[in-house]
Amino acid sequence: MLLLLAGCGGNDSTDSPDPASGNTEQAAAAQTADLAQVEKETAVQLIRLLSGEEVGPGNEWSIIGIAGSSMGKEAEAQSLFMQYEESLRLAVKRADGVLDPDRPTDNAKAAIALQMIGGDPQDVEGFDLLAQQEDTETVKAQGINAEIWALNAAACCGRELKARETYIEDILGMQLEDGSITYDGQTADVDITAMAMQALAPFAGENQQIADALAAAKGWLATQQHPGGDYGNSESTSQVVMAVAALGEDPAKAEDFAKGSTLLDGLMLYRCADGFSHLHGDEMDVMATEQALCAIDSALLAAQGEKLF
What is the crossing angle of helices 190-200 and 144-156, to 10°?
A: 30
- Of all residues in the chain, what percent carry a pLDDT higher than 90? 86
- Domain ranges for the chain, please list them: 24-303
SS3 114: helix
User: Residue 191 corresponds to which amino acid?
Assistant: D
Residue 284, beta-bridge partner list:
277
State the pLDDT confidence band at 27, using cuts at 50, 70 and 90: low
Q: Give the C-alpha separation, 280 to 277, whole Å.
A: 7
SS3 127: strand
**What pLDDT shows up at residue 98?**
98
Let me know: does 192 contact 217? Beta carbons within 8 Å. no
Q: Give the C-alpha separation, 146 to 141, whole Å.
A: 8
Determine the average pLDDT of the residues in 180-196.
96
What are 38-59's pLDDT values in tens digits?
999 999 999 999 998 999 999 9
State the pLDDT confidence band at 23, using cuts at 50, 70 and 90: low
pTM of the model: 0.90
Q: Which fold has domain 24-303?
A: Glycosyltransferase (1.50.10)
Let me know: does 297 contact 307? Beta carbons within 8 Å. no
- Cα 187 to the chain's mean position, in Å? 21
State the pLDDT confidence band at 25, using cuts at 50, 70 and 90: low
State the pLDDT confidence band at 7, using cuts at 50, 70 and 90: very low
> Is residue 287 over pLDDT 70?
yes
